[in-house]
Amino acid sequence: MTRCPSDLELERLARQPDGASAPHLGACARCAARLAELRRLSEVFEREVFLATVEAVVAGAAPRPVPRAAWVAVAMAAAVLVALGVGWLRAGRGDGALDLVARAGPAAAALADGQRIPAGAALRLEIRPRRACTLWVAAADAAGEVTRVFPPKAMTGTLGLPVAAGTTVPVDAPARPEGRRGPERYFAVCLCGDDALEWKDVDRAARAIGPGEAPLRAARGIPGLPDETLQASLLVERVER
């Protein structure tokens, strides 16, 4: 070996030295320093990290059987929520792992899917993924126009916003320009995993729904997005008041 090994190679060589690397490691001052640092950090880990975290690691990795009573409680809670019509809506692929609720004001009641609201009303959306993912919120109207609602371009550029599991993200959705009337659907899409979902991909897929009131009302999700995308949507009917 004539070149300096990468960090990953050095990790392996520190654990299992081999004959091919020995001459280089013995002669290279830089690699000698890196090996010394590697060993120093092993000692730091043992002294300061291991003891402080090992119990949490043991607990975090323990198998977690779900008690039967918990399943019953979850089922009852779900039934109550449906009965109360709180307006949480889950749609699209996945396992109902993305929640979307909309209000016509910070303290207003949650809107039901298809609810009529004043044409000039701004909305407060609350989106909560059950898994870590990268979030986009888009709005589409019957003219086939698709609007980027969140995150703003100034915040993340062409990419969505990474959201931790269980985090509720509040999003202010402004009223449509000129108080236009008609159906409008808000789509929350959240891609799990490490791949990127850029705005142009969301925009292109949402435009495939096409113009027209009927397709928009029927479109519970944006077609053509990756399988790992969680989705939820909510339709509002903007009317003149």
Partner 1 sequence: MDERQGGDHRTRVVRLYREYGPVVYRRCLRLLGDEEQARDATQEVFVKLLREERLTGEDAEVLPWIYRVATRHCLNLRRAVRHGRWSLDGGRELEVADPEGAPYPERRLAQQILARFDTTTQAVAVGVLVDGMRREELAGALGLSRRTVHRKLARFLAGARRLLLGKEPAP
Task: Give whichever of 46 and 172 is closer to partner 1, judged by the CB atom.
Answer: 46
Shortest spacing between CB 106 and partner 1, in angstroms:
21
Task: Give whichever of 46 and 213 is closer to partner 1, judged by the CB atom.
Answer: 46
Task: Give whichever of 198 and 237 is closer to partner 1, judged by the CB atom.
Answer: 198
| Interacting residues toward partner 1 by CB under 8 A | 3-4, 6-9, 11-12, 15-16, 38, 41-42, 44-46, 48-50, 52-54, 56-58, 60-63, 65, 132, 155-159, 161-162, 164, 167, 194-196, 198, 200
Cβ(190)–Cβ(163) below 8 Å: yes
User: Quick check: helix, strand or coil at residue 60?
Assistant: helix
Task: Give whichever of 157 and 179 is closer to partner 1, judged by the CB atom.
Answer: 157
Cβ(183)–Cβ(241) below 8 Å: no
User: Quick check: helix, strand or coil at residue 33?
Assistant: helix
Closest to 135 measured CA to CA, from 192, 70, 60? 192
Shortest spacing between CB 233 and partner 1, in angstroms:
24
Give the contacts of 134 (CB within 8 A, at least 6 positions apart): 159, 160, 161, 162, 163, 190, 191, 196, 197
Shortest spacing between CB 144 and partner 1, in angstroms:
21
Shortest spacing between CB 239 and partner 1, in angstroms:
36
Integer Cα distance of 19 and 210 in angstroms = 65
Shortest spacing between CB 206 and partner 1, in angstroms:
16
Cβ(183)–Cβ(142) below 8 Å: yes
Shortest spacing between CB 200 and partner 1, in angstroms:
5
User: Quick check: helix, strand or coil at residue 190?
Assistant: strand
Task: Give whichever of 10 and 98 is closer to partner 1, judged by the CB atom.
Answer: 10
Task: Give whichever of 132 and 175 is closer to partner 1, judged by the CB atom.
Answer: 132
Cβ(201)–Cβ(229) below 8 Å: no
Closest to 226 measured CA to CA, from 200, 205, 203? 205
Task: Give whichever of 53 and 80 is closer to partner 1, judged by the CB atom.
Answer: 53
Shortest spacing between CB 168 and partner 1, in angstroms:
12
Closest to 185 measured CA to CA, from 125, 237, 111, 143? 237
